[in-house]
C-alpha cells in the first residue's frame, strides 16, 4: 500500500475549554490523567501509560480544537515532510524548540480541512507510571477511568477526499477503512487512516472544516469500557453513544462529552493490524449505521452533527 510512514503516532491534542477547573476535574479525576504542568489558564496532562511529557493541553476560553501534534521518527523526516507539504500546496510554518513546552523543533501544517496539524520528533521523556524495569501491569492508584493513552482523532472536512489525499501523498498514511456513497460511485464520505499498524491514527468524515469530532483514549477491554460507562454516570458525564461496538475498526467504545462540550471517546480492542498488504475495507453509506453502531444499526443524529 505504499511506503512505511515516518509518522509514529498522535502525540498531543490542544483543546479549548470554557471552564478550566471543570475540565481539570473531568480529565484528571474522571478520566485519570495526571496534570504534569500548569500555568494561568492552561494545563498539561498525561495518561499513565504514556512516556512523553504530556498528551493533552487544555486552554481556557472557548471550545474546540486548537491543534494536534503527530510525532515523527527524526528531524530529517520533519524537513522532508515540510517540503512535501509545501509541494502539495498547504500552508506550513516552522516551530522552534520550546514553542510547545518540552517539544523540539517542528513543522506546523494547516490541513486542507483547516485543522492545524504539527509534526515534531522530540518531546521530553518522563516515563510511564509503571516504568520500564520489571513493571507491574497497571498502576494501583490511578483515578477514575484510568485511560491508557491518547490514540487517535476524528476530524470533519468539507472535502474528505482532499484531506485523505494529503495524508496519503504527504504523510504516507494508508486508508484502512473508507465510507463511500456506493461501490459504483465511491465518493468519499469518511476515511480511517493509519500511519502504523493500528486501525486508525487519524480519521476524516464529511462535515464542517476547522472543527473536531472527537479524540480517543485507549482502554484494555470491554470490561474497562463498561466500568468507564459506570464512572461517567457517577460523574454526570453525558454519553453520546455506547457502550457498544463499531463496525468500522471493530473497536468497542463509548463517546461522551467533556464539560465544555468537546467529544471524547474511550475505546478498546485492536480489531486487526494494518500491514502493507491490508485490503482496505469499504462501507457503503447506506450501511453507515452498522459501521458506527454495530449493535443498534441505527444512527443517532448527534453523532453526525455535533462538532466543536
Partner 1 sequence: MRLRSGAEAGNSHGGDDAPPAEPSADHPRADPSAVHPRGTGELTFAVTILPAGVHLSASGSDTLLRALSRAGLRYRVGCKRGGCGICKVQLLLGEVRYERPIAASVLSDDERVEGICLSCRAVPLTDVVIELQEGDRLRRVLGFAYPQ
Judged by CB under 8 A, the residue of 2, 62, 127, 223 near partner 1 is: 62
68 vs 149, which CB is nearer to partner 1? Answer: 68
301 lines the binding site for partner 1 (CB under 8 A): yes
Please state the separation of Cα 56 from the chain's center in Å.
11
234 lines the binding site for partner 1 (CB under 8 A): no
238 lines the binding site for partner 1 (CB under 8 A): yes
Catalytic residues: 152, 200, 214, 246, 255, 265
Instruction: Encode 78-92: b = buried (16+ Cβ within 10 Å), e = exposed.
Output: beebbebbeebebeb
* In the complex, least distance from residue 221 CB atom to partner 1, rounded to whole angstroms: 27
Q: Which three cell numbers stand for residue 231?
A: 464512572
25 lines the binding site for partner 1 (CB under 8 A): no
Q: Could you tell me how many residues of this chain bind partner 1 (CB under 8 A)? A: 23
* In the complex, least distance from residue 303 CB atom to partner 1, rounded to whole angstroms: 10
Cα–Cα distance list, 103 to 107, 159, 167, 184 (Å): 11, 31, 23, 46
Judged by CB under 8 A, the residue of 2, 4, 22, 135 near partner 1 is: 22
Q: Which three cell numbers stand for residue 113?
A: 480541512
By rule CB under 8 A, what string of x and - marks binding of each residue 184-223 to partner 1? ----------------------------------------
296 lines the binding site for partner 1 (CB under 8 A): no
102 vs 308, which CB is nearer to partner 1? Answer: 308
Among candidate residues 33, 36, 34, 40, the one with its CA nearest the CA of residue 60: 40
Under 8 Å CB-to-CB from 254, ≥6 apart: which residues? 225, 228, 229, 232, 239, 241, 242, 243, 244, 265, 266, 267
240 lines the binding site for partner 1 (CB under 8 A): yes
85 vs 205, which CB is nearer to partner 1? Answer: 205
2-21: which residues touch partner 1 (CB under 8 A)?
16, 18-19
66 lines the binding site for partner 1 (CB under 8 A): no
24 lines the binding site for partner 1 (CB under 8 A): no
115 vs 308, which CB is nearer to partner 1? Answer: 308
Judged by CB under 8 A, the residue of 262, 268, 269, 291 near partner 1 is: 262
158 lines the binding site for partner 1 (CB under 8 A): no
Contact indicator for 181, 285 with CB cutoff of 8 Å: yes
By the 10 Å C-beta count (0-12 exposed, 13-18 middle, 19+ buried), 282 is classed as: middle
305 lines the binding site for partner 1 (CB under 8 A): yes
Among candidate residues 1, 78, 15, the one with its CA nearest the CA of residue 215: 15
50 vs 258, which CB is nearer to partner 1? Answer: 258
CA distance 233 to 237: 6
CA distance 279 to 201: 17
**Eight-state DSSP code of residue 98:** T
**Which residue shows C-alpha cell 472557548?**
62
Half-sphere CA count of 270, side-chain side, radius 13 A = 6
136 vs 236, which CB is nearer to partner 1? Answer: 236
Where does this chain bind partner 1 (CB under 8 A)?
16, 18-19, 22, 61-64, 238, 240, 257-263, 301-302, 305-308
Amino acid at each position: 500500500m505504499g511506503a512505511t510512514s515516518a509518522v509514529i503516532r498522535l502525540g498531543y491534542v490542544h483543546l479549548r475549554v470554557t471552564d478550566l477547573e471543570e475540565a481539570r476535574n473531568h480529565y484528571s479525576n474522571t478520566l485519570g490523567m495526571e496534570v504534569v504542568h500548569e500555568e494561568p489558564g492552561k494545563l498539561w496532562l498525561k495518561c499513565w501509560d504514556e512516556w512523553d511529557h504530556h498528551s493533552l493541553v487544555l486552554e481556557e476560553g472557548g471550545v474546540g480544537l486548537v491543534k494536534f501534534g503527530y510525532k515523527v521518527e527524526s528531524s530529517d523526516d520533519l524537513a522532508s515532510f515540510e517540503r512535501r507539504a509545501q509541494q502539495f500546496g498547504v500552508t506550513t510554518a516552522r516551530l522552534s524548540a520550546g514553542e510547545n513546552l518540552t517539544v523540539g523543533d517542528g513543522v506546523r501544517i494547516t490541513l486542507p480541512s483547516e485543522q492545524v496539524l504539527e509534526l515534531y520528533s522530540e518531546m521530553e521523556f518522563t516515563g510511564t507510571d509503571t516504568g520500564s524495569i520489571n513493571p507491574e501491569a497497571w498502576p494501583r492508584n490511578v483515578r477514575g477511568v484510568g485511560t491508557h493513552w491518547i490514540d487517535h482523532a476524528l476530524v470533519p472536512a468539507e472535502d474528505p477526499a482532499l484531506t485523505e489525499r494529503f495524508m496519503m501523498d504527504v504523510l504516507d498514511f494508508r486508508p484502512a477503512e473508507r465510507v463511500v456513497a456506493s461501490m459504483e460511485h465511491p465518493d468519499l464520505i469518511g476515511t480511517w487512516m493509519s500511519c502504523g499498524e493500528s486501525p486508525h491514527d487519524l480519521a476524516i468524515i464529511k462535515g464542517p472544516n476547522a472543527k473536531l469530532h472527537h479524540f480517543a483514549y485507549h482502554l484494555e477491554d470491554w470490561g474497562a469500557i463498561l466500568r468507564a460507562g459506570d464512572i461517567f454516570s457517577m460523574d454526570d458525564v453525558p454519553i453520546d453513544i455506547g457502550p457498544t461496538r463499531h463496525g468500522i475498526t471493530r473497536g468497542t467504545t463509548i463517546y461522551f462529552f467533556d464539560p465544555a462540550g468537546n467529544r471524547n471517546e474511550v475505546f478498546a480492542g485492536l480489531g486487526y493490524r494494518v500491514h502493507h498488504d491490508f485490503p482496505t475495507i469499504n462501507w457503503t453509506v447506506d450501511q453507515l449505521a452498522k459501521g458506527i453502531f454495530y449493535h443498534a444499526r441505527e444512527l443517532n443524529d448527534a453523532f453526525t452533527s455535533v462538532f466543536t
